[in-house]
Each structure stands twice: as structure tokens, then as C-alpha cells.
Chain A
Amino acid sequence: EIVMTQSPATLSVSPGERATLSCRASQSVSSNLAWYQQKPGQAPRLLIYGASTRATGIPARFSGSGSGTEFTLTISSLQSEDFAVYYCQQYNNWPLYTFGQGTKLEIK
């Protein structure tokens, strides 16, 4: 099983500032990585797939980078609606896809 480790567990950032979230895989997943945003009581929302491709309708302030074992999600200028929990997911190891434990992005 590929273990996905996200850091930090909680990130406190002020609106308008940049947020950088990290995701590390226990072995290479190539670029087969997605990022999701989840707000309380809601389903996850796809933000990024292929490590760096924004999903349909996702604002340009969200960007993803990385390959292999190290990945980053950057939110360039935080808006109030961006405060949520973010998960990474590898889909390289079929059929056992795994998620990170999540990073909670909170208002500073």
C-alpha cells in the first residue's frame, strides 16, 4: 500500500496570503495524484488531477506541482471560501488508491 503523508496537519493563514500544502508518497506515484477540497458536511470537490491540471471550474489561484513522491498544492491568494480541509490522493497503484490524512486550512 502506498502511504500518503500530508503536512502540516493544520495551516493557519490570513486571507489574501499564500498557502502551501504538501503531500508525500511512500513510493513514486509518477504524476498520478489528485487534490480535493472538503468543507464541513460536504463531499470532497476535485481541484487538481495529474498533479498539476486544474479541474473544470477551479479558479486559477489553485495550482499543483510535483511528481514522483513530492507534491504541492498552492493557493496564491486565499479567499474566505478556501478555508477547508484538503486531501491528496494517489491513483497510481490500481486498484488500491489511497488518500492523505488531510490538511486543515484555517483562518489566522
Chain B
Amino acid sequence: QLQLQESGPGLVKPSETLSLTCTVSGGSISSSSYYWGWIRQPPGKGLEWIGSIYYSGSTYYNPSLKSRVTISVDTSKNQFSLKLSSVTAADTAVYYCARLIRWQWPDYWGQGTLVTVSS
């Protein structure tokens, strides 16, 4: 059974960089059938697409976040990561990692991790 698990600091200061890692177990991140993505959800609000990555390292970002987002992959560790720079309170959210069928819809999601931006 595929599992995804987000990890990283739950509290980040304004103007700093948010860093999260998603560890994939029960399947290979190097499969040619899937992309891997990040999605976030501010408390009490809806879902926002952040971006995705292929095992080769090709990345695709939400244009509204593109200037601040970096997604990377480490196939040797079966992990992919998210960095979001210059964070503000508006970046406070539950961050989910997910597997995408091809490059399209997420079918497996991590449990999510709450990141709060506050001094």
C-alpha cells in the first residue's frame, strides 16, 4: 500500500523559507507513470495547487507562487521536497504531498502537516 508522509518544521518565521519533505513508501518515486505534487489548504479554507515534479526532476509550478517555490526530488531516498521562500502569514496552511496519476489528478495523499507562519 502506497504511503506518503510529510515532515518538516511546524512553525516558520515571516520572511524565512518553509521547507518540507515527503517520504514515499510502498512504491517507487521513479515510476514513469506518476508525478508528485504539493497542495496546501489554509485553515478553514479550500485547496490550492502549489506544483509538481517528475522523477527526472522536471518541475511545474503554480504561476502565482512560482517566484517563491522550489520542488526537488531525491530518488535515492524516495523523497521529494518543497521550499517556499519569503513566507508571510498568508502561507499558513496544511501542506499535503500527493501522487499524481500521470501529471493530472492526485490519487494518494499524505496526511498533511500544518505549517504556521508567525514570529
**A interface with B by C-beta (< 8 Å):** 32, 34, 42-46, 49, 55, 87, 89, 91, 94-102
Q: For residue B103, which residues in chain A have a CB less than 8 angstroms away from its CB?
A: 94-95
Per the 8 Å Cβ criterion, residues 75-109 of B in contact with A are 96, 101, 103-107, 109
Of B46, B49, B52, which contacts A100 at CB under 8 A? B46
Task: Indicate whether B118 reaches chain A with its CB closer than 8 angstroms.
Answer: no
CB of B47 within 8 A of CB of A95, answer no
Closest to B62 in A: A96
CB of A15, distance to nearest CB on chain B (Å): 26
Task: Indicate whether B63 reaches chain A with its CB closer than 8 angstroms.
Answer: yes
CB of B2, distance to nearest CB on chain A (Å): 12
Closest to A33 in B: B105
Q: For residue B106, which residues in chain A have a CB less than 8 angstroms away from its CB?
A: 34, 44, 46
CB of A49 within 8 A of CB of B48, answer no
CB of A94 within 8 A of CB of B96, answer no
CB of B46 within 8 A of CB of A43, answer no
CB of B60 within 8 A of CB of A44, answer no
Assuming the contacts A43-B109, A49-B101, asked whether A89 and B47 have C-beta atoms less than 8 A apart, the reply is yes
Closest to B108 in A: A46
Task: Indicate whether B14 reaches chain A with its CB closer than 8 angstroms.
Answer: no
**Bound form: Cα–Cα A43–B113 in Å:** 10
CB of B46 within 8 A of CB of A34, answer no
**Bound form: Cα–Cα A97–B106 in Å:** 11
Closest to B101 in A: A49
Closest to B47 in A: A99
Assuming the contacts A43-B110, A43-B111, A87-B46, asked whether A95 and B105 have C-beta atoms less than 8 A apart, the reply is no
Of B49, B101, B110, which contacts A98 at CB under 8 A? B49
Assuming the contacts A32-B104, A89-B105, asked whether A96 and B96 have C-beta atoms less than 8 A apart, the reply is no
Instruction: List 22 A–B pairs whose Cβ atoms lie within 8 Å, in order of A's numbering.
Output: A32-B104, A34-B105, A34-B106, A43-B96, A43-B110, A43-B112, A44-B109, A45-B109, A46-B105, A49-B105, A55-B107, A89-B47, A89-B105, A91-B105, A94-B60, A95-B51, A95-B62, A95-B103, A96-B63, A99-B46, A99-B48, A101-B46
Q: For residue A49, which residues in chain B have a CB less than 8 angstroms away from its CB?
A: 101, 104-105, 107
